[in-house]
Amino acid sequence: MAPGAPATPLPLGLLPRLLAAFSGTTGLVIKLVFLSLANAMAVWAATVLVRDSRWIALSVLVAATLAIDSVYLSRRAVPLKFLVPGSVFLIAFSVVPVAYNVNVAFTNWSTGHLLAKEEAIEGIERSYLAPPADGRSYLMAPARDGRGQLVLILVDEADGSTFVGSRVGLEPLRRDAVEIDENGAIVGTEGYQLLEADELASLDTDLSAYTVPTKDGAAIRPEGFETAVELRPTLRYEADTDTFVRIEDGTVFRDNGKGSFVAASGEELEPGWKTRVGVENFTRLLKDPLVRKPFFRVFVWTFVFAGATVVASFALGLFLAIALNLPGLRFQRTYRSLLIVPYAVPAFLSLLVWRGLLNDEFGLVNRLLPFDVPWLFDPAWARVSVILVSLWLTFPYFFLVSLGALQSIPSELVEAARVDGAGPWQVFRRITFPLLLVAVAPLLIASFAFNFNNFNNIYLLTAGGPQASDQIVAGSTDILISYTWKLAFEAGKGQDYGLASAVSIVIFLIIASISALSFWRSRSLEEMR
């Protein structure tokens, strides 16, 4: 540049240009648009919370919205403007799910205990109905009235009386207003539109729950699409004592404090309701033999699976890293590239491929062997299969980690040891391996925690099977996380979310304790730096 010539401004990068473009008036407009959208969503959420009488949640929502508005409309709280988005996502996707899971663990939320108590009482009154000895039966045809509401056209089979039934009750209908064909089916009526076959198919669920109240607590309920019967309650709810009484024999069903009405004999009415049960889900892990026995068996196998996978994968990865780190090896890069292929393929695809390869009947592995091995259908071999496939998926990771750690060890230390007369094994045991652990130990701990919860490797390969002989929920290869899944969605009468949440908390405490202890013990390795 010639002396005295004006300085040429340096070209701006993309990020500075974007910051400049969105500053000033443009940035203010964009900020106001996003704040308006956020406030609109808050107003919508507030209306829902007010409708459901969620006053605590409403207070939190109002406070959070005002705080966010004040941060972004202020010129001083600059750091908070960058922290707020991350904090919101952290709370929404981490804190809230964890808090919700902890709350569920102290409830009896499960199949049969999904409703509020008032809804459960109404459900019991609707469910425990039976036809009396003198009950009436009706020909029936679903129809819609002038307002489009679903009603039932009824013809008493005893005397031919005709009625229209709604959720309010029965109303008489002129006999000549109902047309019946030679097969005894209702084919037409005045003032009402009979439903066609295609619409009937879509109303199957609504019809099965449809009742027409009559006198003395009785009700008429459809039986299919063409008949209905009169049913009377078999239980009577007494609100002053909060009990159900069986009308036939006077048996009393009382609130047991655990979300059910139960008789002295142990008979339980369904449905129950969702309620807090304290630490019962946790005590079931220790006291209930149906839960305790499979839990501890799965607990031990989870440690074996996670430990064996990590140790075998690290050993194989380290061995290959040392072998491919030797100087002068031909095709070294080719070998390294081939070894990371299992790591490059998505794990779920590899698991499904291995599930086919290890199939007893048509799997390629058994076709290549001189004898058949029940890889996935024998408990012992299924456990071996799970560990071997996990080894296949994991060793490339430790190969890459170990290779990088080996190349970071100063060569002067190795050369000095050899000058002092140390052999290859002594160099590895005294220098290479301890220095390697400084970098790899935290990754080993993380890998153990990952495999402790490695749901995919179990569920996609064996689905937790084969089935254990002493338990219908926990299979032979189930680990704690897959066992938790089955408890939540496949156990007993159905789902048991409360127990599954309790088990998930136990899993977290186990992993947190092991990780904390391991990190504390591995700190001693840092003295070797």
Residue 185 belongs to a domain: yes
pLDDT surpassing 70 at residue 227 = yes
Which of 54, 71, 105 terminates a domain? The answer is: 105
Residue 402 belongs to a domain: yes
| Range with the poorest average pLDDT among 199-203, 252-256, 351-355, 360-364 | 199-203
pLDDT surpassing 90 at residue 524 = no
**The pLDDT of residue 81:** 84
**The pLDDT of residue 362:** 86
pLDDT surpassing 50 at residue 308 = yes
How far, in Å, CA of 318 to CA of 527, rounded? 22
**CA within 13 Å, CB half, 252:** 9
Q: How many beta carbons lie within 10 A of that of residue 225, not counting itself?
A: 17
Does one domain contain both 98 and 148?
Answer: no
How far is CA 169 from each of CA 152, 217, 352, 522, rounded to the nearest angstrom? 10, 11, 57, 75
Does one domain contain both 81 and 166?
Answer: no
Residue whose C-alpha is closest to residue 108's, from 503, 506, 499: 499
Q: Which amino acid is at 514?
A: I
**Gyration radius from the chain CA atoms:** 35
Does one domain contain both 384 and 430?
Answer: yes
Residue 268 belongs to a domain: no
How far, in Å, CA of 426 to CA of 432, rounded? 9
How far, in Å, CA of 36 to CA of 43, rounded? 10
pLDDT surpassing 70 at residue 92 = yes
Does one domain contain both 327 and 468?
Answer: yes
Structural tokens at position 191: 């003032």
**The pLDDT of residue 10:** 45
Helix (H) or strand (E) holding 139: strand 137-144
pLDDT surpassing 90 at residue 82 = no
Residue corresponding to tokens 């949640």: 57
pLDDT surpassing 70 at residue 471 = no
How far, in Å, CA of 497 to CA of 281, rounded? 10
Does one domain contain both 188 and 78?
Answer: no
What average pLDDT does this structure show over 134-151?
89
What average pLDDT does this structure show over 303-308?
95
**The pLDDT of residue 19:** 60
Mean pLDDT of the chain: 87
Does one domain contain both 307 and 182?
Answer: no
Helix (H) or strand (E) holding 450: helix 433-452
How far, in Å, CA of 450 to CA of 353, rounded? 22
What average pLDDT does this structure show over 470-475?
75
Residue 203 belongs to a domain: yes
**The pLDDT of residue 20:** 62
CATH number at residue 98: 1.20.58
What average pLDDT does this structure show over 230-247?
92
How far, in Å, CA of 78 to CA of 58, rounded? 27
Residue 13 belongs to a domain: no
How far, in Å, CA of 440 to CA of 278, rounded? 42
pLDDT in tens, 332-380: 888 888 888 888 888 989 999 999 999 988 889 999 988 889 999 999 9
Please, what is the Cα angle at 26 between 22 and 31, to 5 degrees?
85
Residue 281 belongs to a domain: no
Confidence of residue 262 (pLDDT cuts 50, 70, 90): very high
Query: HEC string of 213-281?
Result: ECCCCCEEEEECCCEEEEEEECEEEECCCCEEEECCCCCEEEECCCCCEECCCCCECCCCECCECCCHH
Does one domain contain both 185 and 43?
Answer: no
Q: Which amino acid is at 482?
A: S
**The pLDDT of residue 258:** 92
What average pLDDT does this structure show over 214-242?
88
Does one domain contain both 217 and 143?
Answer: yes
**The pLDDT of residue 6:** 54
How far, in Å, CA of 455 to CA of 461, rounded? 10
pLDDT surpassing 90 at residue 39 = yes
Residue whose C-alpha is closest to residue 130's, from 226, 269, 248: 248
Give residue 81's domain range.
26-105
Does one domain contain both 430 and 479?
Answer: yes
Q: Which amino acid is at 194?
A: L
Q: Of all residues in the chain, what percent carry a pLDDT higher than 70?
A: 93
CATH number at residue 426: 1.10.3720.10
Residue 240 belongs to a domain: no
N residues, the chain = 529
Does one domain contain both 500 and 424?
Answer: yes
Which of 195, 211, 233 terminates a domain? The answer is: 233
Does one domain contain both 209 and 87?
Answer: no
Q: What residues pair up with 142 in beta bridges, in sequence order?
A: 152
Which of 207, 233, 259 terminates a domain? The answer is: 233
Does one domain contain both 138 and 219?
Answer: yes
Confidence of residue 5 (pLDDT cuts 50, 70, 90): low
The total number of structural domains that make up the chain: 3
CATH number at residue 150: 2.40.430
Residue 115 belongs to a domain: no
Cβ burial, residue 396 (10 Å; 0-12/13-18/19+): buried
Q: Which residues contact 402 (CB under 8 A, 6 or more apart)?
A: 314, 317, 318, 321, 322, 436, 440
- Do the Cβ atoms of 116 and 273 come closer than 8 Å? yes
